[in-house]
Amino acid sequence: MSRQGGRKNQKKSQKGFVAFRVFCGQQEIVVPPPPILPDLVLQRVIRVARRDGLTVVVIAGGFAILSAMAGSAIGAAVGIVITGAGVFELHGVSSLRAHRATGMSWLIGSQVYLMFAVLAYCIWRLDSFDVVAARELIEGSAQLRSLVHDNGQSVTQFIETLRKTYIACYMLVALLTVLYQGAMALYYLRRRKPVAAALGADLDPNT
């Protein structure tokens, strides 16, 4: 480009697209990046949802199998319930691939379902710490008693520290679940309109 016509610089935007700064004399004109095409949004949503759904199915399904093998009916049941969230998400992916816009509702719903399932499990676990069983375990093992005393704590103090750590871990899991699943639900929700446009579907303005 000639000096009279100005010069053009490229700058990365926050979303990874290229914006142009055009300098014409002393004036700077910022040309915004082009919008993402609906078809591209659809493909990205399908890719993200498929990866997320498979991850949930593999991890939760494996947890259910291991719990069943260990004889824990509750653990197996929890694993199956959480696996359902991954199945719902993969169903949403299949719906989108079949050009059905209702797949987005399955994706959003799967995140809300998973969030409440994990929160319910965490709440149940917070109230399930067995102080008596912990004491019996420590007092029945000379090695554990020695370890507790080496830390400069009584058995009672050690169990209280263990209980607080136990509660903190499940509270952290609950917090991370709300943040991650909430972010995923918001990700899908914000892409409903471009996905509907890519599929040529009408989107209810009230949804």
Give the separation between CA 143 and CA 131, rounded to whole angstroms. 19
Residue corresponding to tokens 């816009």: 101
Q: Model pTM?
A: 0.75
Which of 39, 5, 34, 35 is CA-nearest to residue 22? 5
In Å, how far are 60, 146, 153 from 64, measured between CA atoms? 6, 35, 37
More confident residue, 105 or 148: 105
Cβ atoms < 10 Å from Cβ of 93: 22
Question: How high is the mean pLDDT of the chain?
Answer: 83
Please tell me the least confidently modeled range out of 47-61, 105-119, 149-163.
Answer: 149-163
Cβ atoms < 10 Å from Cβ of 158: 20
Can you say whether residue 32 is alpha, beta or left, with left for phi > 0 and alpha for psi between -120 and 50 degrees? beta
Backbone angles phi, psi at 20, to 5 degrees: -115, 135
Give the separation between CA 33 and CA 155, rounded to whole angstroms. 64
Torsion of CA 89, 200, 203, 114, to 10 degrees: 10
At residue 186, does pLDDT exceed 80?
Answer: yes
For 3-16, how does the pLDDT look when each residue is reduced to its tens digit (9 = 90+)? 444 444 544 444 44
Within the chain, residue ranges assigned H as helices are 38-69, 73-97, 103-126, 131-139, 142-150, 155-189, 192-199
pLDDT at residue 144, rounded to an integer: 81
Band of the pLDDT at 154, cuts 50, 70, 90? confident
More confident residue, 186 or 199: 186
For 79-99, how does the pLDDT look when each residue is reduced to its tens digit (9 = 90+)? 999 999 999 999 999 999 999
Backbone angles phi, psi at 25, to 5 degrees: 70, -120
Torsion of CA 127, 131, 137, 141, to 10 degrees: 140
Give the separation between CA 58 and CA 55, rounded to whole angstroms. 5
Task: Work out the widest C-alpha separation in the chain, in whole angstroms.
Answer: 88
